[in-house]
Structure 1
Amino acid sequence: MNELLKQSGCEREDLRQTMQDCFIYRNPGSSRLVKKPDDRMNIRNARPEDLMNMQHCNLLCLPENYQMKYYFYHGLSWPQLSYIAEDENGKIVGYVLAKMEEDPDDVPHGHITSLAVKRSHRRLGLAQKLMDQASRAMIENFNAKYVSLHVRKSNRAALHLYSNTLKFQISEVEPKYYADGEDAYAMKRDLAHMADELRKPGVRVSGQEAPSGQSPSGSGDQERENERDSGGESKELSEVSEATESTDVKDSSSDSQ
């Protein structure tokens, strides 16, 4: 470090530029060097032709996987709610699979079924962007009041992301929710504040002007599929560091906050 400090101004500038080119910077409040957010990443609505690559991303990240019909179920029933992250070459590096719950005894609310980001693209903030975009779409299209998810009790990294960054609250513990017998935290995120922000003039959601008055509403009347029979909620996250991206997924990615 002392040698670096002795370098000339030009040399230090070259070093700084090199670090920027490698997308490396020091996270405020942390001693860790982490990847710098890459503006070349694109978040967009998932299309039918993306489903195969979303499943491939799932296979790379998750210990338990979904059949293709489960992706089609989400894509056909709620095409507005699932999003993908793609790199500058158009390659899918992450996704969020989301839906609306169909509970006539509750207010309209969405659910995050699966969230995954490839290891090569961790620490870029993609999980938060995917989650926020899906939540906005739930509000815009279905007037959702909150969004829910499940996460393993042992998944401390994912809990950090949901609780500290995305402001999810634990609503209950579901005993033996997972196939291996581990309990799950059921978590909810209130969307009232986000909905208020989207009503402000000039705020754009999903590429369209957000309504300045009444929020849009809708209903998902498609038949609800039993998630546990078709793969269940997203699964366990392992090999993570600090704040981790995904809902319950394994080896998905880490975010710097």
Structure 2
Amino acid sequence: MHTRNASCLEDGRAWKGDLNRALFPLSPALAAIHKPKSDLWRKGKQAIMVSIRNATVQNSNLWCLPENYQMKYYYYHIMTWPQLLYVAEERGGKIVGYVLAKMEEEASVPHGHITSLAVLRTHRKCGIATKLMKAAQRAMVESFGAEYVSLHVREGNVAAIHLYRLTLKYQYKGYYADGEDAYDMRMPFTDKCNQAFSSQVNRFKKVLAEKDAAAAAAVANANSA
């Protein structure tokens, strides 16, 4: 299974069509449990009212979704873990962002995984991605008893790393190899998992420090040549 782009897709490459065509409102039963929560964001001088709510897929449009997944994978995702799909919806019904997450199957420790996160370019830097992530993380704990959540993010995706590392407090666990450099990041929900991760996190910090030192040395050598 390819998961190269399973991290934050805020670079816009996943948005090749109108996501509104891919989603439809919750059933009345689910809507009663997952009531939309509206927040007012400001983009410059413009006020943006956005609701974070659960959603399901009716007629998925492949162009709206990350390129490296087969459609049956999305159907399986959403039919199996409908609690973990959230969308950001403007007043009037326009979908401006989504997060697609799952629970890892047959895991010794119950934990979730962020498969895909995207926010329309026009609605970034408003806190929407943070709200979507927190909604999915909360649902993992409340619905499935998750003890931690993981994700993969490309090394060059600076905006996504800033969101995960600095805003949401994810920790580097190691590298994820899938044809390009990517980080394996995790956030523990319990003290037990936090303690279990600490040694791995510290080891990887040393790896990153050595890599940074090597890069700095290479630049210094190039400048002195």
TM interval, short-chain normalised? 0.5 to 0.7
Query: Does the Cα contact within 8 Å between 1:84 and 1:92 map onto a contact in 2?
Result: yes
Which residue in 2 is equivalent to 1:182? 180
2:57 to 43, 48, 59: 48
1:72 to 72, 75, 84: 75
How many angstroms does 1:103 deviate by? Answer: 3.4
SS at 2:118 equivalent = strand
Structure 1 pair 152–108 and aligned structure 2 pair: CA distance change class (3 A): same
Distance in 2 between residues matched to 1:186 and 1:87, nearest whole Å:
32
Percent identity of equivalent pairs? 56
Higher Rg of the two aligned structures: 1
Q: State the one-letter code of the partner of 2:184.
A: A
Which residue in 2 is equivalent to 1:144? 146
1:206-245 matched pairs, under 5 angstroms: none
Distance in 2 between residues matched to 1:22 and 1:132, nearest whole Å:
20
How many angstroms does 1:165 deviate by? Answer: 0.2
Distance in 2 between residues matched to 1:192 and 1:132, nearest whole Å:
16
1:245-256 matched pairs, under 5 angstroms: none
- After superposition, what is the alpha-carbon deviation per residue over 1:5-37, rounded to whole angstroms, capped at 9, x for unaligned? xxxxxxxxxxxxxxx997426xxxxxxxxx76x
SS at 1:52 equivalent = coil
Query: Does the Cα contact within 8 Å between 1:57 and 1:118 map onto a contact in 2?
Result: no
Distance in 2 between residues matched to 1:68 and 1:137, nearest whole Å:
24
- After superposition, what is the alpha-carbon deviation per residue over 1:110-162, rounded to whole angstroms, capped at 9, x for unaligned? 00000011112112111000000000000001000110000111222211110
Query: Does the Cα contact within 8 Å between 1:146 and 1:190 map onto a contact in 2?
Result: yes
1:129 to 114, 120, 131: 131
TM-score, normalised via structure 1 length:
0.54
SS at 2:175 equivalent = strand
Distance in 2 between residues matched to 1:101 and 1:48, nearest whole Å:
21
Structure 1 pair 24–140 and aligned structure 2 pair: CA distance change class (3 A): same
Which residue in 1 is equivalent to 2:190? 192
Query: Does the Cα contact within 8 Å between 2:84 and 2:136 map onto a contact in 1?
Result: yes
Structure ranking higher in helix proportion: 2
Q: State the one-letter code of the partner of 1:24.
A: G
Distance in 2 between residues matched to 1:140 and 1:127, nearest whole Å:
20
Residue 159 (str. 1) matches residue 161 (str. 2): yes
How many angstroms does 1:65 deviate by? Answer: 4.3
- After superposition, what is the alpha-carbon deviation per residue over 1:174-220, rounded to whole angstroms, capped at 9, x for unaligned? 23x1xxx2121100011238xxxxxxxxxxxxxxxxxxxxxxxxxxx
TM-score, normalised via structure 2 length:
0.61
Which residue in 2 is equivalent to 1:206? none
1:119 to 118, 121, 129: 121
How many angstroms does 1:173 deviate by? Answer: 0.8
Structure 1 pair 143–24 and aligned structure 2 pair: CA distance change class (3 A): same
SS at 2:185 equivalent = strand
Which residue in 2 is equivalent to 1:168? 170
Query: Does the Cα contact within 8 Å between 2:150 and 2:186 map onto a contact in 1?
Result: yes
Query: Does the Cα contact within 8 Å between 2:41 and 2:50 map onto a contact in 1?
Result: no
SS at 1:41 equivalent = strand
Distance in 2 between residues matched to 1:117 and 1:46, nearest whole Å:
15
SS at 2:163 equivalent = helix
Query: Does the Cα contact within 8 Å between 1:57 and 1:116 map onto a contact in 2?
Result: no
Distance in 2 between residues matched to 1:65 and 1:86, nearest whole Å:
25
How many residue pairs were aligned? 152
Structure 2, unaligned runs of 5 or more: 1-39, 192-225
